[in-house]
């Protein structure tokens, strides 16, 4: 079977999807997902992006997986720096999620409260944070699958932000 990739649309535009791709996207939108901001350190400062494609992979060793679109500026910096943080957003942080989903990469941290842990930026106010070193990468169609070796994990017990059917929602 031949493999194909979906071309990446210019930033700020939505790719044209064929009917099968649109049905797949709509079906996946039925699956509620936690909203996270993936962060790393670039030479020019902290960078990050919003993503919901995050999952626990293993407890022994502690591994997570994150799927990031090929061509993402954040992905390029993660591969350069070899470290990242997954910040699980609180249900009060929808605006922050939107800010990290668009706009110039190096401007997304403007005015955002954060600190550095293990060499990567960590968002203040996140309900959970998982700091990782890149363990492995794998191709995944139009995305790259990052496997992260967990170096630090913490949670606050707060309420996470969810995304379902293209909209932000709270847990209850």
| pLDDT recorded at residue 29 | 84
Length of the chain: 172
> pLDDT tens string for the chain (172 positions)?
222 232 334 444 456 888 888 998 888 888 889 999 999 999 999 999 999 999 999 999 999 999 999 999 999 999 999 999 999 999 999 999 999 999 899 999 999 999 999 999 999 999 999 999 999 999 999 999 999 999 999 999 999 999 988 888 877 6
Cβ(129)–Cβ(117) under 8 Å? yes
Question: DSSP code of 97?
Answer: H
CATH code of domain 32-160: 2.30.110.10
Q: What does residue 8 show for φ and ψ, rounded to 5 degrees?
A: -80, 130
- The pLDDT score that the predictor gives to residue 15 is 67
The domain segmentation of the chain, as residue ranges, is: 32-160
Q: Comparing C-alpha atoms, which of 44, 37, 133 is closest to residue 87?
A: 37
pLDDT score for 12: 47
How crowded is residue 57: how many other Cβ atoms within 10 Å of its Cβ? 15
| Other Cβ atoms closer than 10 A to 43 | 8
């Amino acid at each position: 079977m031949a493999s194909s990739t979906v071309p990446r649309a210019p930033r700020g535009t939505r790719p044209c999807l064929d009917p099968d791709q649109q049905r797949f996207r709509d079906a996946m939108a039925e699956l509620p997902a936690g909203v996270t901001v993936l962060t790393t350190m670039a030479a020019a400062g902290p960078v990050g992006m919003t993503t919901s494609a995050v999952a626990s992979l293993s407890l022994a060793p502690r591994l997570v997986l994150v799927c990031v679109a090929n061509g993402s500026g954040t992905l390029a910096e993660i591969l350069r720096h070899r470290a990242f943080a997954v910040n699980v957003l609180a249900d009060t942080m929808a605006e922050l999620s939107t800010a990290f989903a668009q706009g110039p990469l190096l401007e997304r941290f403007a005015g955002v409260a954060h600190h550095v842990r293990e060499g990567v930026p960590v968002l203040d106010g996140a309900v959970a944070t998982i700091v990782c070193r890149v363990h492995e990468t794998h191709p995944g169609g139009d995305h790259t699958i990052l496997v992260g070796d967990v170096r630090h994990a913490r949670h606050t017990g707060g309420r996470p932000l969810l995304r379902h059917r293209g909209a932000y929602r709270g847990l209850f």
